[in-house]
Every structure is written in C-alpha cells, then in structure tokens.
A and B are shown apart, each in its own frame.
Chain A
Amino acid sequence: MGIDPPDAPVADVDDGDSIHVASIVRPYALTKGRTAPRVDLPVEATIEVVSAEKVGDDIGRSILDLCAAQNPSVAEIAAQLRQPLGVTRVLLADLVDVGAVSVRATLTDRATDRQRHDLIERTLRGLRAL
C-alpha cells in the first residue's frame, strides 16, 4: 500500500474513521464489525428519542438514556460513551433504523441560500444575546 503525500486527503478512510481496523480494535466488536453507518450523522446533529421500546441491548439503552435526558449531539454521545466517533455513528444508525431515535435537522449541502441565511441570523441573534 502506498504512502500518502503529506497533505493529501487520506484515501480509504471512511467518514474520518478508519475502516482498516475492524478486526483488531475492540470497540468495533460493539458494532459487530460494521463501520459504515447508513444514516448521515454529522458531529453536531442532535438526537431525540422517538420510542424506547424497541431497544434491548445495554449500549443502546445507555444511548437512549443520554438522549432522553438532554438531546445530545453525536459528538456528545461519543464523548460520554467514551467510544470513537465511528463506533458511535454505527450504533446511532442502528437506533435510527429501528425507529428508536431520530436525527434533528442540521445544515446540509442541499440547503438553500435562504435556509443558510435564516440559520446564520438565528445564530447571530443568539450570540449577541449571550
């Protein structure tokens, strides 16, 4: 395998997390070796509980408890679970799939100028009021 030049984006790295390491890194046992979530989960996206009933496993339950208490972001969930971002994303995507949680809206590439404008204005209003 080639060595990447210093500043080139690194190929084969999925979504910022390594996909090479599934077999040797223990946290990925939690995700049964899966590394690529099917749901788009930006680090800042906040998560809310939709239905807690469908979740039986411990890690799923602890994520639901976190979400029920405070609508945390993907990054906060990762930090509190002490799991890498990639692992957390896979776990969250499972919860989205079974309808246990939903991902609240964030800015996407598809956003219109108007949506962008509204978001920045809301941000400014909030910052000025701090």
Chain B
Amino acid sequence: MDSVRFDEAPRIASTKIIVAGGFGVGKTTLVGAVSEIVPLRTEALVTTESVGIDDMDSTPDKATTTVAMDFGRITLSNDLVLYLFGTPGQRRFWFMWDDLIRGAVDAIVIVDTGRLEDSFSVVDYFEAKKLPFIVAINEFDGGQRYTPDQIREALAISPGIPIMTIDARERESAKHALIRVAEFALEQLTATSRIESA
C-alpha cells in the first residue's frame, strides 16, 4: 500500500450525482438510460407522523410508510464508481433529500414544461443548499415546447445556471447532461477558488 501522509486524504472511491425534480418528470428514466445496472431501489422507513402535512387528521397511532429512492451505477474507471440517485418525487418526502445530497458534487434538476409549477421549489431547494446544479428540460412528446430562456424567466433561474433540453430516455442525451453538470461544478469551484486566492 502507498504510504499516506497525514495531510493527504485517501483517494475517493465513489461519488454521486443527484437527479432531482418533481413527481414523474423522468428522474428514474434518466438514471436507467445511463446506468450500467437496471435502476435499483432503496427504501427508508418513515412514520406517517413524521410525514406531516398529509396526515393532519391521522390518529395518534403511528403507521410507517417507505420512501423509495431509485439509483443507478456507472463504473468510471478501475478506481471510481459514480452513483446516480433519483430523489423521491413526492413533495412530502423532501426531508429525505438532505441525507441524499450529503457528499454530492452536483445535481441535475429535471423540469417537465407541462408542469412548471412543480419545479419552483426544487430549484429553490438546490439554490439554498449551494449545491451546483443544472436544469434539464425533459421534452415529453406533444409537451408544450419552451425555449431555455423562457424557462429561465418562468422559474427565475439565475443567469449563470446552465439550462439544457434533454430526452431522458436517450443514453447520449442523459450522458451529455451528466458531463454538463460536472463541467459546471468544476467551473464553479474554479471561480470560487480564484476569488479566495485573490
């Protein structure tokens, strides 16, 4: 084994990109399009009591429900594996996202132009978390087409944040989105490092 200096952290063996968005926007579809495995599902248990708003009238009896997160895997090299985690779409499970995004480098926020109103809070969430993200417009067939500029205006997305159009079903398109978000994360990091060292 290599000798490890005290100030040197071990080489990172795995990483993740978050695929977020409202209910049914195509998160699992995108993950499946690029993953080398059929997306797997992991679950977390929550009490309906914890779930809050949807259970205002529930009895004091605690019931549990599971929150599912779909994920895929891409082996990037012999010493690095990338996982893609789709966030649970239902709004009431968003508290799960905090656990999920810990340690993530960046995120792709998928937007369905047919239901833009679902996207506001997703964008707000990532802005608040200061996690670099890009917006990917998933063009459903027959869906209303908007230009990226129109989406930017409608969702009040900051000028620096990339917006692209994707087809979540297409491997190349999904891959392109992953590359774009990684480039963006690198640009952001370089920009902030320069400011710090200036």
A-B contact count (CB 8 A): 187
**CB-CB nearest in chain B for A126:** B76
8 Å CB interface, B88-130 against A: 91-92, 94-96, 98-100, 102-105, 121
CB distance from A70 to the nearest CB of B (A): 10
Contacts of B71 in A (CB 8 A): 43, 75, 79
In the complex, the answer to whether B49 meets A123 with C-beta atoms within 8 Å is: no
CB distance from B104 to the nearest CB of A (A): 8
In the complex, the answer to whether B64 meets A24 with C-beta atoms within 8 Å is: yes
Contacts of A120 in B (CB 8 A): 105, 182, 185-186, 189
Contact of B46 among A13, A80, A105, A126 (CB under 8 A): A13
CB distance from B28 to the nearest CB of A (A): 14
In the complex, the answer to whether B46 meets A73 with C-beta atoms within 8 Å is: no
Segment at the interface with A among B19-27, B50-58, B137-145, B151-159: B50-58
B residues near A, CB below 8 A? 9-16, 34, 40-47, 49-53, 55-56, 62, 64, 66, 69, 71, 73-74, 76-77, 80-83, 85, 91-92, 94-96, 98-100, 102-105, 121, 175, 178-179, 182-183, 185-186, 189-190, 192-193, 196
**CB-CB nearest in chain B for A9:** B95
Segment at the interface with B among A15-23, A49-57, A61-69, A91-99: A15-23
CB distance from B23 to the nearest CB of A (A): 15
Q: A42-B103, A111-B9, A126-B80 are in contact. Are A121 and B186 (CB under 8 A)?
A: yes
A residues near B, CB below 8 A? 1, 3-10, 12-13, 15-18, 20-21, 24-25, 27, 42-46, 73, 75-76, 78-80, 84-87, 104-109, 111-113, 115-130
Q: A6-B91, A7-B94 are in contact. Are A43 and B16 (CB under 8 A)?
A: yes
CB distance from B165 to the nearest CB of A (A): 19
